[in-house]
Amino acid sequence: MFRKLINNHQYLIRIILLVLVGVFAFWASDTLKDGDFISNLIRKFGYGGIFLMAVVSGFNLVIPIPAISFLPVFLASGLNAFAVVIIIAAGMTLADFVAYLLGKTGRHMVLSAFEKKVINKFEIIKEKLHWSPVLILFLFASLVPFPNEIMVIPMAFLGYRSVYILLPVFFGNMVFNSIYAIGVANVIKLIN
């Protein structure tokens, strides 16, 4: 019971943190209209800075703040929304690729004889249903606001080739960030 209470407390903290990030992003975008400091900072680092931010935020298990949360700030500083979405998706995909490599490496380092037998059973299932996990991965990356690593690492453990993981993750990240960007744009229109 105590563990359940702690888990609920952690979820509440994450939700509050996410709301605060959203409020900060809207506040910062409103401040950008009048202030030059933040705008110049974004212009200085530009799309490269956004890419690095996306890579770091792509490790959702470590830092649960999506880079796309700062879209209002990027737009207020004059950056192109479509380019920002593509760059953020690419950065998140790079982070997912690192998670894939960890899963692939971990497969060879961690498995005992029993675990290898279990993995072999999963590989038989993988051969029979080869494309369904890839489709599920795309839908997961597109629609579910949880870390992609939840799917990527086990698929790497199962021996999926990187192209079968990275393409669905990249396009799923594009869809997810596009949906978010459209939602943010509509909220900004409602506020103004």
Rama region for 183: left / alpha / beta (φ>0; ψ in -120 to 50; rest): alpha
Q: What pLDDT is stored for residue 67 in this prediction?
A: 82
Reported as a single tens digit per residue, the pLDDT across 23-49 is 665 665 555 455 565 566 677 888 988
CB 133 within 8 A of CB 126: yes
Amino acid occupying residue 126: K
Q: What pLDDT is stored for residue 41 in this prediction?
A: 67
Q: What pLDDT is stored for residue 133 in this prediction?
A: 80
- What range does the domain containing 26 cover? 2-191
For the chain, what percent of residues have pLDDT higher than 90? 17
Number of domains in the chain: 1
Q: Which residues fall within 8 angstroms of residue 143, CB to CB, at 6 or more apart?
A: 175, 176
* Cα gap 8→16, rounded to integer Å: 12
Amino acid occupying residue 172: G
Highest average pLDDT, of 20-29, 39-48, 103-112, 140-149, comes from 140-149
> 157 or 138, which is more confident?
138
* Cα gap 77→65, rounded to integer Å: 20
> 75 or 7, which is more confident?
75
- DSSP 3-state of 164: helix
Q: What pLDDT is stored for residue 124 in this prediction?
A: 74
Q: 30-34, 89-93, 140-144, 163-167 — which is least confidently predicted? A: 30-34
Q: Exposed, middle or buried: residue 88 (CB in 10 Å: 0-12, 13-18, 19+)?
A: buried
Q: What pLDDT is stored for residue 136 in this prediction?
A: 86
Average of per-residue pLDDT across 2-21: 65
Average of per-residue pLDDT across 174-189: 85
Overall size of the chain counted in residues: 192
**For residue 184, pLDDT beyond 60:** yes
The secondary structure of 95-162 as a DSSP string is HHHHHHHHHHHHHHHH--HHHHHHHHHHHHHHHHTSHHHHHHHHHHHHH--S-THHHHHHHHHTT--H
Rg (CA), the chain: 19
Q: Which of 104, 159, 105, 166 is nearest to 141 (CA)?
A: 166
Average of per-residue pLDDT across 158-178: 90
For residue 147, how many C-alpha atoms fall within 13 Å in the half-sphere facing its CB?
21
Per the listing, tokens 């949360």 go with: 69
Q: What pLDDT is stored for residue 168 in this prediction?
A: 94
Stated pTM of the model? 0.70
